[in-house]
Amino acid sequence: MNFQTYNPPKRILMGPGPSNINPRVLNALAKPTIGHLDPQFIVLMDEIKQLLKYAFQTENDVTFPVSAPGSTGMETCLVNLIEPGEKVIVCVNGVFGGRMKDIVERCSGIPIVVSEDWGKAINPEKFEAALSENTDAKITAFVHAETSTGALSDVKTLAEISRKHGCLTIVDTVTSLGGSELKIDEWELDAVYSGTQKCLSCPPGLSPVTFSDKAIHKIKNRKTKVQSWFMDLNLVLGYWGSGSKRSYHHTAPINSLYGLHEALLILHEEGIENSWKRHLENGNIFCNEIEKIGLSPFVKKEERLSQLISVTVPEKADETGVRTNLLKNYNIEIGAGLGALAGKVWRVGLMGHTSNINNINLCVNALSKELSS
Ligand SMILES: Cc1ncc(COP(=O)(O)O)c(C=O)c1O
C-alpha cells in the first residue's frame, strides 16, 4: 500500500464538539516537545493552573487538567468523592446525566435519580423533594449544559439547595466552561469537571477539573482507597499539586498542554464575561435566523443553551440527508440527535472559535438551500 501523510479536510465544526481550533492553538501544539519534569514545563503547568482558575472563576488550589477527555474528568470527580454504599442524588435530563448515574453504580454508590424530560432543565423543586426524602444523601450530581439536548440547568440554585441539605455538589461543565456564566466560588460548587474541545476551542483529550476545600477534605478522609489508580487525586496531586517538588505520576500530554495554555490565554485576553456575552448573543442571532427560514429551536428560550442549539427537524425533512449534504456541499458539520432525540433534532454548535456571525450565516444559508431543494 502507498501510505501518505494524512491531510484532513477543512471543516466548519458546528456540531456538539469539537469546535474549530484557533490557529494560535494549532501553532502552539506544534512547538518542540520538552520533558514533563523539565523546570520550564513546571512553569507552564503553573500558568495553566492560574489560567484555569480564571476560566472557572475560582481560587481553588486543586484546579488542573486531567490528562484524558471529559469523561475522565467525570469519573475523577465521582470516584474520588463517592465511597461504597453512599447515596448520590443524580439528575438525569439527557445522555450525560445518565452516564453519571452509571458511574455512581460502578463506584458501588446508590444513585437516587431525579429525572426530567429531555430538552428541559432540571426542576429545582423535584430536586429538593429528592433531598428531603433522602436525608442520608451527602452528594448531588448534575449537568450544567446538557449537550445531548441543548438544555441549560440553573446550577446556582441547585447548588444552594444542595448546601441547605448538607450535600457536596459534582457538576458537569464540559459544554458550559467559557460559554455560559459559571462561577465556581460564588456559587460554591465542590467538584467540577470540563472538557477542552467545546467553548475553549482546543483539541479534545484534556479535562479541566477543580475541587473545593470541602471536597478535598472528604477525599483526604476516605475510609476506602479510591478504586482507580490513575484518577486517585491523592496520587495525581504529587504531580499537579503546588510547591516546586513534582514527582512522576504519568507522562503528561505535553503538546496538548501547550495548546490548552494558548486557548486559555485567548480566553483571558477576550475576558470571561465577554466570552459568555458573545456566546449568548450569537446563540440568539442563530435562533432568530432559523425562525426566518421556518425552523424552530427545540428547547424553550429560558432553558436554552447558546453554544449548542437543538433544532427541531421539520416533519418532511430528511434528517440524515440534510446533515450529509451540509458536510459534502458546504464542509459544515452539524450533529444528530442522541437517544430519545435521535431523528428529531439537529444539534448545532456555536462554541468558542466557531461562535461568530460568519458561521451563523453560512449554516443558515446552507440549511435553507438544503431544505428547499
Ligand atoms: C456534557 C458532557 N459531559 C461529558 C462529556 C464527555 O466528554 P468527552 O467526550 O470529552 O469524554 C461530553 C462530551 O460531549 C459532554 O457534552
- Give the per-residue SS3 of 13-42: ECCCCCCCCCHHHHHHHCCCCCCCCCHHHH
Ligand 1 neighbourhood includes 71 CB (under 6 angstroms) = yes
Ligand 1 neighbourhood includes 143 CB (under 6 angstroms) = yes
Whether residue 201 contacts residue 58, with contact meaning beta carbons closer than 8 Å, is answered with no
The whole-angstrom separation of Cα 76 and Cα 186 is 23
Q: Cα dihedral sign for 21, 24, 29, 35?
A: negative
pLDDT score at 373? 79
Residue with cell 495525581: 236
179 CA distance to ligand 1 centroid (A)? 15
Q: What angle do CA 179, 345, 283 make, to 5 degrees?
A: 30
Q: Cα dihedral sign for 116, 102, 226, 193?
A: negative
pLDDT score at 244? 67
Ligand 1 neighbourhood includes 179 CB (under 6 angstroms) = no
The helix (run of H) or strand (run of E) holding residue 146 is strand 145-146
Angle separating helix axes 213-220 and 70-81, nearest 10 degrees: 60
DSSP secondary structure, 164-212, as one string: HTT-EEEEE-TTTTTTS---TTTTT--EEE--SSSTT---SS-EEEEE-
Residue burial 30-56, b: 16+ Cβ < 10 Å; e: rest: eeeeeebeeeebeebbeebbebbbebb
* CA-closest candidate to residue 259, choices 6, 5, 72, 33: 33
2 CA distance to ligand 1 centroid (A)? 36
Q: Please tell me whether residue 112 adopts helix, strand or coil conformation.
A: strand
Give the burial class of 291: count Cβ atoms within 10 A of its Cβ; 0-12 exposed, 13-18 middle, 19 or more buried: exposed
Residue nearest to atom 8 of ligand 1 (CA): 70
Q: What is the pTM of this model?
A: 0.98
Q: Please tell me whether residue 336 adopts helix, strand or coil conformation.
A: strand
Whether residue 184 contacts residue 337, with contact meaning beta carbons closer than 8 Å, is answered with no
pLDDT, mean of each 10-residue run, the chain (373 residues): 96 98 98 96 97 98 98 98 98 98 98 98 98 98 98 98 98 98 98 98 98 97 96 94 84 98 98 98 98 98 98 96 98 96 97 98 98 89
* CA-closest candidate to residue 140, choices 162, 165, 160: 162
pLDDT score at 245? 76
Whether residue 133 contacts residue 122, with contact meaning beta carbons closer than 8 Å, is answered with no
84 CA distance to ligand 1 centroid (A)? 25
β-strand 139-143 against 168-172: which pairing, if any?
parallel
* Residue 207 CB partners (closer than 8 Å, separation 6+): 65, 66, 68, 69, 70, 71, 72, 73, 74, 76, 174, 193, 194, 195, 196
Mutate to test the pocket of ligand 1, among 19, 66, 67, 71 (most ligand atoms within 8 A of CB): 71
Whether residue 235 contacts residue 229, with contact meaning beta carbons closer than 8 Å, is answered with yes
66 CA distance to ligand 1 centroid (A)? 14
104 CA distance to ligand 1 centroid (A)? 17
